[in-house]
Structure 1
């Protein structure tokens, strides 16, 4: 067996395990290794796709609208939330409905209006929830402390907060008399999975009555938006994450954890990781099973599970009057666990969703499906029957709903057991009962020194509960000074990240500029300024949902940098372009797109230097130059600016150019039309009148046009170092480079070649694996290299190839003479042998 060593092993990559990993790395300075048995990291925040269009979350349906300090910290404040409607939960009981509004005050006021004879009881109930919530927090914190403190502190907590430990039904009956009011107050127990007769009041006080009282929200971009940000932040703190790693055993020596035995399910490799600390986010029962001590937790109450029906729709649920609120269907007023149904409409609350989805959840006893475990045909049949029954209930509420369903798939406790590796498909961890609160095994600490539990079983159900459980695990491992630093950081203001921004912007307008060019305006999801600034000439990277997995494309900014409430891009429709055809044919106002940026060195800022600013554009290549002109106008630029525009027929941005002339008295616009009756392309004679006295040239357009113009400028003695270039590049070229890279890698493997060497005239060199570009190889070898876009648009990574064989795409960023001299783009050059380069 192979051996590795680290400071901390975290079992499971759910939010609880990831929270513990970050805290121990960031505040404890630990080397942390996260091992996940699934092929996808992130636990119940990951998503899956069906039919190349529908995306479904597996566990996050809605969260607190203010996100809370735990989630804010874990995501560095970078997750964007879309509020649900103010009446976010609609409860359907036999004979009446009730809509739960955002904020505690509104909820209490609506209850008082509906039940005027119970006003005092309602006030008393909500006072009890505050105290019960405090009791739950106290119990969970104490459970993370050393054994002597736990033995004294836990009984004290129960004496101080007895309501926390009472069954929910008993506490509600103590408070109110009206059976309908009781039904409303104890409804939504499905948020933690244990029905009112069995659940502890403290859990009910925490989840529906406290966490959601400020309103609720859905992550823009879906649960994966949380997943991606959290995983990226862990990488920045040096946490190593491995998927498909099944922990077979927790190794204990002399009463203290010493590591874990692991099977790599992808390769079959078995190895042991030695570590003095192990954090298990796999649940209490799984943790004790890995210790071969399952009998010690056998008396804990059985966990709940669920069936979930995932539906893909042909049209929006808004056709049935739905606005994104959740719907709860209760079979009676007494909180029966049989037949309680929850329905959520994630796509209505996710402005980035392209196709509409619905998720239907019914809590069940896992034993319901045990008999089908080894009977696949009968199991398939029973799933079909459950699907039809659930669809019937939706059809009963919303006639015609069934006709909109294009896709349906049912997950059962056996599904969750398979993918989550949870005990009998437990959906919310340990049952939220008084017995759990009193158990010394249900919490953060274990009898084994150095082994702690994180996640839902260390605090409570849901995303926030899992995160809190991760903090409890860190609480148990870190030293007191480190714990203090951790809590100060979590409770303090989120430190905003510097550098490039990444998040969602909403499409507010789409305008036709020419038959083939559209201008798209993007605004913040809420009111206010755009979340980033930029310099004229920069571009954005935008993820486009053309398929289940989005494609990323780069688009220049056309608006001026002084405009702070929106940003605009312009896109030419390319017949074979995945991105451009989507933006032209399918993009709708109101849709949110994930944006990154700004990027690029093709920039201009106002200066006091003299000389002509010469801007040369081919077609949609005018886009970044419009931003330059807007910046010049805002700065009151009075120098000479010449814009040469090459186009077939209509001039893009004609209206904007007419408006800019008023603020730019030195602006001269010359149009070179290539269509019938036009003056033709921008050639040597066309450039000649504007070459004298030029201080700066910005050139952007299609590759052939740029190559020609660069040659003309050289012949007119315009110095190369004052020429800035950016290519108009179709998204197809990036795919072409990947295909070429793959072919080169395969050919090298078949020839037995494992790598190439890239040398420099000074004698230095660095390795390049087959299929990697010169720029990728330089970055991997940490060789300093000027670069910006990495896509062959900006020309920053110019390199001169002196010797060797390669494949490349120059993107029109060099003149014919420069190409003859060996100038290439490092980001597009794929060696097929050893190279010698000069920069």
Structure 2
């Protein structure tokens, strides 16, 4: 999706922006593109504006030295079978997106030196967990019951967020009690009622990195939705994540719309209590009756006039919510194929011990000296069936390690690629620490690492317009789900919110946020329309 045809500057010179647009979408991540594609499928001409050189947000890929890596999509649940999410992906890509199913063991959880496998399917998952923890069979059964129960109320809870506040109260009163019963409690609170086995609790929380919040802080409903999302297994987009973004962008263009890069929006123009245009960084103004922002609620509010009274409560409330954990991501290129290295598609989540909360507290007390306590290793080249043909004799790994923002805060005033030697030294130290984990679990990789590149929380700030490397935005705490203002309708007419903040973190959560924004604009329940 790079190239001259998508350049904002060239589009403006050609006069492509002179014709009217029905809607403008700010940000081309999963949520923004999903909203734009759904409006395009309804016949609207949509303009998507992306400040960086490549559209897609966390769906994009980047290439270096004969390798390519996905930025933020590592696996997706529920798309291999009929359902709302698979129908949504199929609809916005007009049936062009294809998925490769991951093996039955899709996640492996390392607690210290012990490894526990996640098997696809509720029955298989429970059976394997009972093999590991035979004395906890009833707790394991009850856990899956609660996961299903807590997830069950999510559809109605989030669908209510597409309604204007004036119409939402009645539905909220119906759907909130079921969901908020579990959303209002933390993961650790619920699990410690089921079992006193700390290792089992740690295994059940083994991929809490998927929602980037500690189990003692995260809402059990958020945890349950993630577990339910993957419980039947996971898949990977054939050809890589960029195909997801490209498919939605093509849908936008098919209706006469545009997806432009290098297109930075400086401010939203409001008049008489309604947003009716955006002003670009170069001063050019583009009008539309509808503006959808997928860059996050907090960032969107910063684009509105500071004295706009209707937004004052949101500014205050959004500033009080905690953010998700930050991470460093090491992209590794290997000069051997996955087959030659004996590396399969399963992800591995690596925890220092079963005391996940204590390990994290120990780390953040001294992040400059303590090793990072949580790592995630993914092998995108092993998941994509087209990889071997496209990159013969090569393979890739991503290792994501959760870190403390304070390590990087001193460099916030520096520029990308010009942050100084101390920053480069920090990156080298972290790279070495992360490669140790690669060699620990994949010793065959030793001697075959051909290229590495480290992204830090500052990279996420630069490329994804985040604040503290919080690539999943607000933390999924009980406090978050109690916020009624986190919805598709903003307090200003003509402006809508899309993406992760409206729903949940991650690509699938952002897609649902995009669905909610499109439902709000079209004044239709698109959830209902997508149900098989």
**How does the TM-score come out when normalised to structure 1?**
0.55
Q: Does structure 2 conserve the Cα–Cα contact (< 8 Å) formed by 1:133 and 1:164?
A: no
Q: Using the alignment, how far apart are the partners of 1:319 and 1:176 within structure 2?
A: 42
Q: Using the alignment, how far apart are the partners of 1:474 and 1:370 within structure 2?
A: 36
Q: Using the alignment, how far apart are the partners of 1:430 and 1:442 within structure 2?
A: 11
Instruction: Indicate how the Cα distance of structure 1 residues 290 and 389 shifts in structure 2: closer, same or farther if over 3 A, else same.
Output: same
Residues 62-94 of structure 1: CA deviation (Å, up to 9, x unaligned): 112635222122223322222222111111002
Match of 1:390, SS? Answer: helix
Residues 620-640 of structure 1: CA deviation (Å, up to 9, x unaligned): xxxxxxxxxxxxxxxxxxxxx
Once the 2 structures are TM-superposed, how far is the Cα of residue 9 of structure 1 from its aligned partner? 1.0
May I ask how many residue pairs the two structures share in their alignment? 480
Once the 2 structures are TM-superposed, how far is the Cα of residue 6 of structure 1 from its aligned partner? 2.5
Matches within 5 A, 1:564-643: none
Match of 1:81 in 2: 99
Q: Does structure 2 conserve the Cα–Cα contact (< 8 Å) formed by 1:48 and 1:55?
A: yes
Q: Does structure 1 conserve the Cα–Cα contact (< 8 Å) formed by 2:41 and 2:251?
A: no
Instruction: Indicate how the Cα distance of structure 1 residues 321 and 43 shifts in structure 2: closer, same or farther if over 3 A, else same.
Output: same
Matches within 5 A, 1:63-142: 63-64=76-77, 66-67=79-80, 68-142=86-160
Match of 1:308 in 2: 329
Q: Does structure 2 conserve the Cα–Cα contact (< 8 Å) formed by 1:187 and 1:335?
A: no
Once the 2 structures are TM-superposed, how far is the Cα of residue 101 of structure 1 from its aligned partner? 0.8
Once the 2 structures are TM-superposed, how far is the Cα of residue 182 of structure 1 from its aligned partner? 1.0
Q: Does 1:288 align with 2:309?
A: no
Q: Does structure 1 conserve the Cα–Cα contact (< 8 Å) formed by 2:188 and 2:216?
A: yes
Instruction: Write 1 or 2 for the structure with the bigger share of helix.
Output: 2
Q: Does 1:204 align with 2:244?
A: no
Match of 1:183, SS? Answer: helix
Matches within 5 A, 1:449-598: 449-479=493-523, 483-484=524-525, 486-487=526-527, 490-492=530-532
Once the 2 structures are TM-superposed, how far is the Cα of residue 231 of structure 1 from its aligned partner? 1.8
Q: Does 1:214 align with 2:232?
A: yes
Q: Using the alignment, how far apart are the partners of 1:57 and 1:230 within structure 2?
A: 17
Once the 2 structures are TM-superposed, how far is the Cα of residue 121 of structure 1 from its aligned partner? 1.8
5+ long unaligned stretches in structure 1: 264-268, 493-839
Once the 2 structures are TM-superposed, how far is the Cα of residue 227 of structure 1 from its aligned partner? 2.3
- Higher-Rg structure is 1
Q: Does 1:11 align with 2:26?
A: yes
Q: Does 1:271 align with 2:284?
A: yes
Match of 1:339 in 2: 373
Match of 1:57 in 2: 70
Match of 1:363 in 2: 402
Once the 2 structures are TM-superposed, how far is the Cα of residue 223 of structure 1 from its aligned partner? 1.0
Q: Does 1:183 align with 2:202?
A: yes
Match of 2:129, SS? Answer: helix
Match of 2:184 in 1: 165
Match of 2:213 in 1: 194
Q: Does structure 2 conserve the Cα–Cα contact (< 8 Å) formed by 1:71 and 1:464?
A: no
Q: Does structure 2 conserve the Cα–Cα contact (< 8 Å) formed by 1:3 and 1:274?
A: no
Instruction: Indicate how the Cα distance of structure 1 residues 55 and 190 shifts in structure 2: closer, same or farther if over 3 A, else same.
Output: same
Match of 1:240 in 2: 258
Q: Using the alignment, how far apart are the partners of 1:464 and 1:422 within structure 2?
A: 19
Moved more, 290-299 or 140-149: 290-299
Q: Using the alignment, how far apart are the partners of 1:487 and 1:180 within structure 2?
A: 38
Q: Using the alignment, how far apart are the partners of 1:276 and 1:304 within structure 2?
A: 36
Q: Using the alignment, how far apart are the partners of 2:171 and 2:356 within structure 1?
A: 33
Q: Does 1:46 align with 2:60?
A: yes
Q: Using the alignment, how far apart are the partners of 1:327 and 1:232 within structure 2?
A: 34
Q: Does 1:437 align with 2:481?
A: yes
Residues 775-794 of structure 1: CA deviation (Å, up to 9, x unaligned): xxxxxxxxxxxxxxxxxxxx
Moved more, 279-288 or 109-118: 109-118
Q: Does structure 1 conserve the Cα–Cα contact (< 8 Å) formed by 2:159 and 2:527?
A: no
Q: Using the alignment, how far apart are the partners of 2:187 and 2:95 within structure 1?
A: 34
Instruction: Indicate how the Cα distance of structure 1 residues 3 and 228 shifts in structure 2: closer, same or farther if over 3 A, else same.
Output: closer
Q: Does structure 1 conserve the Cα–Cα contact (< 8 Å) formed by 2:46 and 2:257?
A: yes
Q: Using the alignment, how far apart are the partners of 1:301 and 1:130 within structure 2?
A: 27
Q: Using the alignment, how far apart are the partners of 2:249 and 2:377 within structure 1?
A: 29
Q: Using the alignment, how far apart are the partners of 2:247 and 2:18 within structure 1?
A: 31
Instruction: Indicate how the Cα distance of structure 1 residues 3 and 248 shifts in structure 2: closer, same or farther if over 3 A, else same.
Output: farther
Once the 2 structures are TM-superposed, how far is the Cα of residue 199 of structure 1 from its aligned partner? 0.8
Q: Which of the numbers 21, 24, 27 marks the counterpart of 2:39?
A: 24
Q: Does structure 2 conserve the Cα–Cα contact (< 8 Å) formed by 1:251 and 1:258?
A: yes
Q: Using the alignment, how far apart are the partners of 1:400 and 1:110 within structure 2?
A: 27
Q: Using the alignment, how far apart are the partners of 2:222 and 2:453 within structure 1?
A: 31
Q: Using the alignment, how far apart are the partners of 1:295 and 1:489 within structure 2?
A: 36
Q: Using the alignment, how far apart are the partners of 1:460 and 1:296 within structure 2?
A: 18
Q: Which of the numbers 380, 397, 409 marks the counterpart of 2:453?
A: 409
Q: Does structure 2 conserve the Cα–Cα contact (< 8 Å) formed by 1:285 and 1:423?
A: no
Once the 2 structures are TM-superposed, how far is the Cα of residue 477 of structure 1 from its aligned partner? 1.3
Q: Does structure 2 conserve the Cα–Cα contact (< 8 Å) formed by 1:306 and 1:364?
A: yes
Q: Using the alignment, how far apart are the partners of 2:273 and 2:258 within structure 1?
A: 27
Match of 1:298 in 2: 319
Q: Using the alignment, how far apart are the partners of 1:5 and 1:233 within structure 2?
A: 18
Q: Does structure 2 conserve the Cα–Cα contact (< 8 Å) formed by 1:15 and 1:455?
A: yes
Q: Does structure 2 conserve the Cα–Cα contact (< 8 Å) formed by 1:288 and 1:296?
A: no
Instruction: Indicate how the Cα distance of structure 1 residues 427 and 83 shifts in structure 2: closer, same or farther if over 3 A, else same.
Output: same
Q: Using the alignment, how far apart are the partners of 2:101 and 2:331 within structure 1?
A: 22
Once the 2 structures are TM-superposed, how far is the Cα of residue 260 of structure 1 from its aligned partner? 1.2
Once the 2 structures are TM-superposed, how far is the Cα of residue 173 of structure 1 from its aligned partner? 1.1
CA-based RMSD of the aligned residues comes to: 2.2
Matches within 5 A, 1:726-765: none
Q: Which of the numbers 40, 48, 63 marks the counterpart of 1:34?
A: 48
Q: Using the alignment, how far apart are the partners of 2:453 and 2:145 within structure 1?
A: 42
Match of 1:372 in 2: 411
Q: Name the structure, 1 or 2, with higher relative contact order (CA <8 Å, separation 6+).
A: 2
Once the 2 structures are TM-superposed, how far is the Cα of residue 126 of structure 1 from its aligned partner? 1.2
Once the 2 structures are TM-superposed, how far is the Cα of residue 487 of structure 1 from its aligned partner? 4.3
Moved more, 280-289 or 145-154: 145-154
Moved more, 14-23 or 106-115: 106-115
Match of 1:592 in 2: none
Match of 1:349 in 2: 383
Q: Using the alignment, how far apart are the partners of 2:128 and 2:289 within structure 1?
A: 54
Q: Does structure 1 conserve the Cα–Cα contact (< 8 Å) formed by 2:277 and 2:291?
A: yes
